[in-house]
Amino acid sequence: MRAAVVVAGSLAAVLGCGGGTGGADDALEPERPAPAEVAAAVTARIEATPSVRDTIRSVGDAGADLRILYAGETDQLIWFANSTPRPVLDSLLDALEHADRHGLDPAAYDAEGLRAARRALDSLPRTAERLAALDVGASLGALQYFRALAVGQVVPAAMGFAMQPAREGVDVPALVRAARDAGTLTPVVDSILPVRPGYRRMV
């Protein structure tokens, strides 16, 4: 949750920065900031994400997961092609906003803040900072959402239960990248949802 709070606060701050409101030309043909600026902004966002594993909740190491996810990205951004949002970004935001369908809290993934940042791109200049804030925030939300679906939200042993998680050793960054590359979350989500009939009927 702490990582999500950090990103949520920074998203709110960045919505108003950069100056100007953008015009019709900006919306039709947004300019991409210099790659070096984008890379620096993304790196700063990742470095600001706490790299701490929660021993109670199965949130993983958010900072480490982000570094793994972005390490292989030559274009610096996961959810954008140049400075244009990939359609799968909106699918991700929809999933986070409706995380309660799986018994999860949308606020844990800053669903509202991410949606506001996405809308702001339609009227504000697409600066390196704005692109990085939304891209890293969306990646963090996706990592935590997929992990919660795959292994649950708590570590059983930490709660006094002598049982193993439903899955162990899940490569969550690979799941996020697979969803991005496929252009849809559906196959990945279907592959990691609990297989118990009762759960399937619930959702």
pLDDT score for 130:
96
CA neighbor of 44 nearest in space, from 58, 24, 25, 63: 63
Going by pLDDT thresholds of 50, 70 and 90, the confidence category of residue 8 is low
Report d(CA 4, CA 80) in Å as an integer: 21
Report d(CA 160, CA 144) in Å as an integer: 23
Count of CB atoms situated within 10 Å of the CB of 189: 18
Gyration radius of the chain over CA positions:
17
Q: Could you tell me the sign of the dihedral formed by the alpha carbons of 187, 174, 150, 183, in that order?
A: negative
Over residues 119-166, the pLDDT tens digits come to 999 999 999 999 999 999 999 999 999 999 988 764 444 444 444 454
What is this structure's pTM? Answer: 0.77
